[in-house]
Structure 1
């Protein structure tokens, strides 16, 4: 027995002698991605990612809305928040969408942004990408708020780019309800001319203001279900636009569809993906907008509520997050001059922040399209 104990002690001593030495950090850990990427024993706090300001994908913040004479950093692609939700016809809350999407992007960063699918890192390519924060919008007057957003787009798109070849910054908007896309389309028209719209949504959003708004007033007719009709009336969009993921009921079974055609749209319904597959949807979208400059608008309710519960007008029977990301990534090669992700209402999300995570990843895919296809000259 004694010999057995002696032998066991010798084995334990040899095992511990050969064990990896555990080195504890000399100071308390930082709430930062840097402790993972840079090592536990580094004391550098200059690259803190999860502390301080929460920008999209930990990108640098730039005061893009600074007065004209103020000198600011140059940039090529701007992230702009549009905290607005008083144009909704169902649940409010999308005014908090920009912050919700930024929260969902906390794990994304340029230092760890290499795609497992392509081996590329679009955040470290040629384009300088920055977060401009939110446009200051009133929540008391829709008309005034949209004028403020129009002006914010004008200011941001007029800034100097980091590239000498691509001289007009492109903007990705974090919504906000879908009404905010109207200001974005006005901005792209001023800088690039009329565009084809690829509209990912469960709803048409081309309703006549006299129908969705009831003809009560001009004010009531400007909302998140009529903005594409208004954009068509203003000549902002081409008759080569297309919806993707549509499945919501109509107000008028024939009138809505006729009006949709008048506004220049074709349609891919949500269940069409079961027939044509992801590649078929991609081919249809590319064929429709071929040869034109493109604006991509993503209403997060294009996803099924199982994948994106936090939205104002959820419709069952939608696409999965993986399907949507695959379709967007498949649009590589298009001249995307602007984009948005809208209708994220964080109050309705679950504890895992499913919707915010999905929206943040969609934004990253939209950035990828812009980076991979630079556009040399504006209008």
Structure 2
């Protein structure tokens, strides 16, 4: 009997040892339970903390990722309203613990910047005019605050996930109020500077004037654009039987780089042409229509055009522009219903990562320095580099 009890005790001890593990420290719950897998958790961009930034005007951050699920201004295939969700889902393999960008030499998620996923602007799909007002008001709410960095007097920077391309108009309106006329580098297969009267319809309204092909024309009419703006990746067909679209585009203040230019000069040549068109140190806004990519690389978009750039070419161009202060950016026209294996959304999510990396690498904006040097950018076209950041980060 005693031998049997000893045997049972030994078996229980063996079983306990086989199943035993060190109980984690219950006081460190974030370490224990705070890390998700790429396939777990609620989708935010790159697993960033999620806050509905529009609901708290006292909330501060340095870089905000904001979705604008609006596609009521498209002229062909819809679906971009689902873009923010898809881009966030495609970003789930991005983590702060594995986010080091070898190009920038930093991990944007573990650096000086407080980066948040600010959720979405709950923009109506029912009324384009109302939607425009909602977006304009939302961006004023987000930008009419100070960034979180130390005692910064500058606003945060936003990376917008669209949505169709019309959403850039309310963004530019609010950036203009802060920085003055904006220099836009517009990666797109289309001009987007068409006048509303260029569309072949007898029926017009105020709402019909606001669409994803007229918003840069409207931005020019409102005085939001600088004298130096760039289209990169153009390959659209033009109206009529002459160069009228390009002549109108000239009046809007854009330089043009067509997509097949890359066959002659390569990626470095494209970057060099962009840099030669802008005074050194010019603050820029980067707008990426995903249809700048070839449909083989980004089929999930509403107005695809053949003959576009590859994802690696576009990313290389974006990386090479990090000497220009980046005051904001968007990635638009991702339409998940037309995507294949999420490759368009994966491309968009990585483009956002590169743009965020550039913002973090450049450091906090010194708005006072920008205001004191603004006229050298816009009027004198000076090639001398002027201060823009809170300190030297390069």
Are 1:48 and 2:36 an aligned pair? yes
**Could you tell me which residue of structure 2 aligns to residue 202 of structure 1?**
189
Are 1:370 and 2:351 an aligned pair? no
Deviations along 1:172-224, one digit per CA (max 9) or x if unpaired, are 11000000011111111011111111000000000011113746222212100
Deviations along 1:50-90, one digit per CA (max 9) or x if unpaired, are 4332111111112210154xx53x21011110000010011
Tell me how far apart the structure 1 counterparts of residues 327 and 69 of structure 2 sit (CA, whole Å). 22
Are 1:58 and 2:44 an aligned pair? no
Determine if contact 2:146/2:153 at 8 Å carries over to the other structure: no
Match of 1:112, SS state, is: coil
CA offset at residue 157 of structure 1? 0.8
Determine if contact 2:184/2:285 at 8 Å carries over to the other structure: yes
Tell me how far apart the structure 2 counterparts of residues 54 and 323 of structure 1 sit (CA, whole Å). 28
CA offset at residue 43 of structure 1? 8.6
Q: Could you tell me which of 229, 234, 238 is aligned with 1:241?
A: 229
CA offset at residue 123 of structure 1? 2.1
**Could you tell me which residue of structure 2 aligns to residue 21 of structure 1?**
none
RMSD: 2.0
Determine if contact 1:195/1:292 at 8 Å carries over to the other structure: no
**Could you tell me which residue of structure 2 aligns to residue 331 of structure 1?**
321
Cα distance change on mapping 1:118 and 1:140 into 2, 3 Å: closer
Tell me how far apart the structure 1 counterparts of residues 214 and 322 of structure 2 sit (CA, whole Å). 29
Cα distance change on mapping 1:275 and 1:187 into 2, 3 Å: same
Tell me how far apart the structure 2 counterparts of residues 262 and 147 of structure 1 sit (CA, whole Å). 27
1:293-304 correspondence runs (5 A): 293-304=283-294
Q: Could you tell me which of 200, 208, 211 is aligned with 1:220?
A: 208
CA offset at residue 166 of structure 1? 5.6
Deviations along 1:20-61, one digit per CA (max 9) or x if unpaired, are xxxx9989xxxxxxxxxxxxxx99222225433211111111
TM-score by length of 2: 0.82
Once the two structures are overlaid, the 10-residue window that deviates more, 241-250 or 158-167, is 158-167
Match of 2:97, SS state, is: helix
**Could you tell me which residue of structure 1 aligns to residue 109 of structure 2?**
123
What count of residue pairs does the alignment treat as equivalent? 338
Match of 1:356, SS state, is: helix
Once the two structures are overlaid, the 10-residue window that deviates more, 81-90 or 361-370, is 361-370
Tell me how far apart the structure 2 counterparts of residues 25 and 332 of structure 1 sit (CA, whole Å). 53
**Gaps in structure 1 of 5+ consecutive residues:** 1-23, 28-41
Determine if contact 1:212/1:225 at 8 Å carries over to the other structure: no
Determine if contact 1:212/1:221 at 8 Å carries over to the other structure: no
TM-score by length of 1: 0.85
Q: Could you tell me which of 84, 91, 106 is aligned with 1:105?
A: 91
Tell me how far apart the structure 2 counterparts of residues 293 and 118 of structure 1 sit (CA, whole Å). 19
CA offset at residue 116 of structure 1? 3.7
1:1-379 correspondence runs (5 A): 44-49=32-37, 50-68=39-57, 71-72=58-59, 74-163=60-149, 164-165=151-152, 167-212=154-199, 214=201, 216-252=204-240, 253-290=242-279, 291-350=281-340, 352-373=341-362, 374-377=364-367
Tell me how far apart the structure 2 counterparts of residues 213 and 316 of structure 1 sit (CA, whole Å). 23
Tell me how far apart the structure 2 counterparts of residues 309 and 171 of structure 1 sit (CA, whole Å). 26
Once the two structures are overlaid, the 10-residue window that deviates more, 285-294 or 138-147, is 285-294
Match of 1:81, SS state, is: strand
CA offset at residue 133 of structure 1? 0.5
Match of 2:73, SS state, is: coil
**Gaps in structure 2 of 5+ consecutive residues:** 1-17, 22-29, 372-394
Determine if contact 2:104/2:358 at 8 Å carries over to the other structure: no
Cα distance change on mapping 1:210 and 1:124 into 2, 3 Å: same
